[in-house]
Amino acid sequence: MKKIGMLTSGGDCQALNAAMRGVVKCLSNSTENAEIYGFYDGYRGLIYGDYRMLTHADFSGILTKGGTILGTSRTPFKSIRELDENGLDKVEAMKRNYRNLGLDCMVILGGNGTHKTANLLREEGLNIITLPKTIDNDLYGTDMTFGFQSAVDIATNAIDLIHTTASSHGRIFLVEVMGHKVGWLTLNAGMAGGADIILIPEIPYDTDKVIKAIYDRQARGSKFTILAVAEGAVSKERAAMSKHDLKEEMKNFRYPSVTYEIADIIEKRTGLETRVAVPGHMQRGGSPCAYDRVFASRLGSEAGRLILEGEYGFMVGIRNREIVKVPLEDVAGKLKMIDPDASIIKEAKMLGISFGD
């Protein structure tokens, strides 16, 4: 009898349920019985012992369901070693709850912060397997994360919808896409949605170049321009600042986000009517797309196989379209950034897309 714990941590996204279902389907179709214990609201459930044993009925009908049946929350890695308000050692509490239940393994679904804590638990002697969840697609060691393609579809649809009103009114529209540190989502949605300018964290922008791209479109007879802007887009001036100086400057930042600042600058300097659209958390929501359903199911199935064979300490990812296992220590604490010289950037530029550089 295998006893498996499972939790989802960090921001929610599409296909979390599909991935968990994949694990359970694989285990239930083996010759070895398994008990599944679901911990509620991420690491918080493992810390405070908030769990219940799940049945096959819990995993029925959830392939197409967004969000997570276990709930989720953020437990920052930087404070994981700090005692809670009641003096509880969080790491020791997680280890204690794991051992009190006699678990053989914890299956943890999450992004970068989640993987740091998962690797810490591995170092502390727990058997851990992780699955790569994030709409940002920024986890190191895997070509793709589940939730990403679904979010791309939603952000692309937002850009598609903006096109009609932008062209009707001859406006400049900035669509703010999620992504604080990396621009995979903005880049892919921007290209798929036909954005004219794409601003991502990895390529600091020059406002003069952005405005020139708008004027160049006007000169070619285009009365509107669509910009796909990552939440974490940064100007060349700010990119050159030290962390301390940037922090001081941002204390007086008066806009809801950098997207609104860019919009204000464009409108004031060009006199063109400029608007901002923010799809926001809709990018995390709804039913997973077909790609994510298949992908998450494949990841879950492979995680189940690793459990059955007693192979722990890995993230299950994908490379060159094949599902692979990646040592957790090779994943934790690393970001998969876009290389400004990557072929996809060069190809986008050949299509006439400006990155403001």
Cα–Cα distance, 37 to 70 (Å, whole number)? 10
> What are the pLDDT digits (tens) for 95-152?
999 999 999 999 999 999 999 999 999 999 999 999 999 999 999 999 999 999 999 9
- pLDDT of 251 reads 86
Q: What angle do CA 85, 251, 277 make, to 5 degrees?
A: 95
H or E segment at 175?
strand 172-177
- β strands within 181-230, DSSP E: 197-199, 225-230
- pLDDT of 30 reads 84
Cα–Cα distance, 111 to 284 (Å, whole number)? 13
Where the chain has pLDDT below 50, the residues are none
Cα–Cα distance, 108 to 42 (Å, whole number)? 9
Cα–Cα distance, 155 to 168 (Å, whole number)? 21
- pLDDT of 1 reads 87
The catalytically annotated residue of 12, 58, 136, 138 is: 136
State phi, psi for 191 to the nearest 5 degrees.
-65, -45
CATH, domain range 150-284: 3.40.50.460
H or E segment at 211?
helix 207-219
**C-alpha closest to that of 197 among 228, 238, 175:** 228
Q: What is the DSSP letter of 311?
A: -
Q: What is the DSSP letter of 58?
A: G
Check if 330 is active-site. no
Which amino acid appears at position 111 of this protein?
G
- pLDDT of 275 reads 96
- Fold match between domain 2-147+288-330 and domain 150-284: yes
- pLDDT of 32 reads 80
CATH, domain range 2-147+288-330: 3.40.50.450
| In the chain, where the domains are located | 2-147+288-330, 150-284
- pLDDT of 33 reads 85
> What are the pLDDT digits (tens) for 238-261?
999 998 988 888 888 999 999 999
Strand partners, 275: 173
